[in-house]
Structures are given as C-alpha cells and as structure tokens.
C-alpha cells in the first residue's frame, strides 16, 4: 500500500496503492516509463520500495525475499525472458514447480498439464532458447502457473504474440482466474485485450495513479482516453 520508489533522481512510483483479490483480473496500464514494471518488481520482491509496504493476506511481506514470496503463492512473468535457454521447455516448467517444493513426480505431472493448457506441448522437448517470441511469452506464463500460485503478475505477456493468438491468450488469463482461482495482474498495451479480460483497471502515469475503475469507467474517463488510450484503441475496444 502507498508504495513509492525513487531511483537516483527519478521518482518511478509516488504513493501508488493497489490491491488484488483472488479470482479477479486487474489491468495495469500506462505509457512506457509509467512505473508498471517497478510496481511488479516491488510486489514480487525483485525490488524494494523507498517507502510503503507490501502485504499478502494482511501480512507484511515487504522484507521477504522474492523466493519466499514465490513459495507463498506470488508468481510473476518477466517483460524479458528469464527461461533457461538450454533446458527444454518441459524442463523449464518442471524447474519452476521444483523451486516451490514439488516432488519430481508431481513437477512432471504439473508440467504436462500446463504445457497442454498453454499449447506448448508440441515444443515440450525443444530448448527454450529456440522458441519463437510469442511462445517464449507463453512459457513465462507456464513457469508462473507451475508454482500453483494464488496471484500471478504478468508483465506484458502478450507482447509479440501474433494478433490471431490474442483471443486464445485471453482465454488462458480467464482460466487462471476461473479454474485456478488466482488473482491476476495484467500489464499490456493491447487495449482490446485489456478491456476484454480485465475486471478492474489501474492507470499509471509518471509514477502516479491517474485513474482506477472498471473498463467501462476508464473508457468513459475522457482525459485518460485522450491522453493514453488514443482514438484507435478506444474504437478497437468498443464492441
């Protein structure tokens, strides 16, 4: 809550508060440099706030390591691939499950299920480093899901996905919410995807909260629309 983060001379976040509940998809949008990735880093323990606190189920976890947060149900994807490039796609997913304490046998079963869900099974034995960009993004989501998370924070997971695969990706996000009962934070610049899949949106600009609300409310907030979503994005998002 009320998180701020300054890098030398740059206030990347200034008093931003965000609450994510299980079983909802919260969209985090805003122009490049708004502070979206910084917020994800702070929530998942890859960075520390200059001031403010992070809580999980009412417990202060600000001092917890990223690994401890991961084991407690906080999973994330990265804007840039963090896969082990020489390991196979399947091994990457298994390693993620092992990392939160799964038995090898259970990790294998988990990997099979998740590779199927994300349609990565055809690449199961290929080195992760050989994946096309869009599939690499999906591998990031697969590795997050392999930890059986309570919350999944996704930093531009659909960037580079061919347009034709976006609806299928939207279905995966809904499935994380509806079948895994997880809370999802989704960062993306594809407004059609965001408006389609999110229950609630937070709009950041230059480290501050610019607007918060349902997709309909955000769409009606003309200032936001004009400045950040752009004409085409608004029409694209309309039914």
Residues that bind Mg ion (CB under 5 A): 36-37
CB 173 within 8 A of CB 138: no
Distances (CA, A) of 45 to 10, 40, 53, 64, 71: 20, 8, 11, 7, 12
Q: Which of residues 14-53 bind ligand ADP (CB under 6 A)?
A: 30, 32-38
Q: Which is nearer to ligand ADP, 37 or 102 (CB)?
A: 37
Pick the binder of ligand ADP from 12, 25, 26, 172 (CB under 6 A). 12
Number of other residues whose CB lies within 10 A of the CB of residue 139: 25
Residue nearest Mg ion, Cβ-based: 37
- Quote the CA–CA distance of 94 and 103 in Å, as a whole number: 10
φ, ψ for residue 220, nearest 5 deg? -80, -15
Residue with tokens 């995807």: 193
Q: Which is nearer to ligand ADP, 10 or 226 (CB)?
A: 10
CB of 134 to Mg ion, least distance (A): 18
CB of 34 to ligand ADP, least distance (A): 4
Picked from ligand ADP, Mg ion, none, the partner binding residue 7 (CB below 5 to 8 A depending on kind) is ligand ADP
User: What is the binding site for ligand ADP (CB under 6 A)?
Assistant: 7, 10, 12, 30, 32-38
């Amino acid at each position: 809550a009320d998180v701020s983060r300054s890098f030398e001379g740059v206030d990347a976040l200034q008093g931003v508060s965000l609450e994510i509940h299980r079983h909802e998809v919260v969209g985090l949008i805003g122009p490049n440099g708004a502070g979206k990735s910084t917020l994800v880093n702070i929530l998942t323990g890859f960075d520390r706030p200059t001031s403010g606190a992070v809580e999980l189920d009412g417990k202060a976890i600000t001092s917890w390591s990223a690994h401890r947060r991961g084991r407690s149900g906080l999973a994330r994807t990265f804007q840039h691939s963090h896969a082990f490039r020489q390991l196979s796609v399947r091994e990457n997913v298994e390693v993620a499950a092992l990392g939160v304490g799964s038995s090898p046998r259970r990790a294998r079963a988990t990997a099979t299920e998740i590779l199927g869900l994300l349609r990565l099974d055809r690449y199961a034995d290929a080195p992760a480093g050989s994946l096309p960009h869009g599939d690499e993004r999906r591998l990031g989501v697969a590795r997050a899901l392999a930890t059986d998370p309570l919350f999944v924070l996704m930093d531009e997971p659909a960037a580079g996905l061919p347009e034709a695969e976006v609806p299928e990706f939207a279905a995966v996000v809904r499935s994380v919410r509806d079948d895994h009962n997880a809370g999802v934070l989704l960062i993306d610049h594809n407004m059609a995807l965001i408006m389609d899949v999110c229950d609630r949106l937070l709009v950041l600009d230059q480290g501050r909260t610019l607007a918060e609300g349902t997709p309909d409310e955000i769409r009606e907030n003309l200032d936001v629309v004009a400045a950040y979503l752009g004409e085409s994005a608004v029409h694209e998002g309309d039914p």
